[in-house]
Structure formats: C-alpha cells, structure tokens
Amino acid sequence: MENLNTTELFAAKSIINLGLSKAAESLSFFMKEQIRFNELSFSINKINQQVDFTSKSGNNIHLLITSIVGELKGVCCLIFTEEEADKLRQAALPKEIIDDPALMAEMSDAILLEVDNIISASVITQFSNILKHNIHGGVPELKKLSVEQINQYAASNFLQEMYIINFKTQFESAQLNFNPEFIWLFDNTFLESVKSFALDNSNITRLEINSTV
C-alpha cells in the first residue's frame, strides 16, 4: 500500500484490529450477546466524494460523530439504521425505562450517545496505550439524517480536513441482524505515528504475539 512498507502496514492493521476488538467487546456488553466485527477495509487517500460514505439505506439514519482530541487528529462515526438503533435501545436499556414512555423518550438518544462514547473510547484507549499518544474522544454528537444527507455531510465536513487514513468495518451479530458501521478518519499524524512505532522491532514482536493469541 502507498506510503507504508509491509511491516508498517502490518503494524497499522494490527493496532486497528486490537482497537476494534475492544470496541466489539464493549458493544457486546450493551447488546448482551457476542458482537464481532467484519473484515477491515483500510485505505490511505482522501475520502472519495464519488463513493458513498455509508452503505446504509433509509431516511432516518443515526450518525454518531466523535472527534479525536489531542496528539492525533481524527474523527470516528458510528452509523445505525433506525431499526438497529431500536434493537440497541431494547437490549441496553432496563425494562423500567422501556416500559415508561416518558423515560424512554428521554433516554432513547442518551443511550446511543453513551454507547458511541464508550465504544469509540475503547478504540482510542488501545491507540493511545500502544502508540503512546495523549488522545481522547470529545463529547459525541448525534445526527438523524437520510443517506443522501449523510453523504453530503461527510463530503462537506470531512473532505475539507486533511484526513488521509480511513478504515471502516461493520459490526456483526449472529441473532439480531444488527450491523452498525464504524468509520474512522485520521490525518497524517496517525501514519507518522505508526511508522515510528514500526521502527522498533520489539513493538512488532509484541503485535505478532497479540495477533496470534
């Protein structure tokens, strides 16, 4: 892949996979069943405006956006269809809230924001611990938009930034047909950090051991 040699690419993918595994664990906690993530799509180039940002369809897509604050600059997006958001609410909220329409109305967005906060932090924690950077997630934001509006939003907001790394996965649940998308965008600082990390052979050995466990 352009800009990364084989060792650096292995390091980047391994670090991202470790982060996403933690995110899947955190999401499993809320869904009360095992959630996995599908194969990672990873690329180095600016977002292509011709390619749709999300593969979801529908008019009420829930887009949760968290900025990465600190020594690495980026943003992550967790994307649910309306049905997936409902499944998450039903699984994660206690029965007394689900059964009380007023409380449910109050909590229905709050639970999505908190899940986003926690699963994005699971990834950020891994990146920070492994790459030794001081980073954290900002306060998450929720937008409910049509697919067309999301693609427009991504084009007008993310294309202006120097985001050149993007990786994307879809969570997967065996029973619930629950497949939220998880998209991360970083600027060149992430690439530089991975390159510098990969210079130390002991770092690569640790990743090799982790990826075989």
Partner 1 sequence: MKKVLIVDDSLFMRQSIKSTLVNSGRYLVVGEAATGDQGIELSLDLQPDIITMDNILPDMLGIDIIKELRKEDVLAKIIMVSAVGQESIIQECRNSGADDYLVKPFSNESLIERIDKLAMGLH
SS3 27: helix
CA-to-CA distance for 207 and 106, rounded, in angstroms?
43
CB closer to partner 1 out of 59 and 129: 129
Backbone Cα Rg of the chain: 17
Q: Closest approach of Cβ 57 to partner 1, in Å?
A: 28
Residue range at the interface with partner 1 (CB under 8 A); choices 22-30, 49-57, 148-156, 194-202:
22-30
Cα 176 from Cα 102, distance rounded (Å): 26
Among 97, 165, 183, 194, binds partner 1 (CB under 8 A): 97
Query: Looking at residue 200, what DSSP letter applies?
Result: S
Could you tell me which stretch among 49-57, 135-143, 146-154, 197-205 binds partner 1 (CB under 8 A)?
Answer: 135-143
Sign of CA dihedral 5, 9, 12, 18: negative
Q: Which of 81, 122, 179, 203 binds partner 1 (CB under 8 A)?
A: 122
Token couple for 185: 């965008």
Interacting residue ranges for partner 1, rule: CB under 8 A? 26, 29-30, 94, 97, 106-107, 110-111, 113-114, 117-118, 120-122, 124-125, 128-129, 134, 136-139
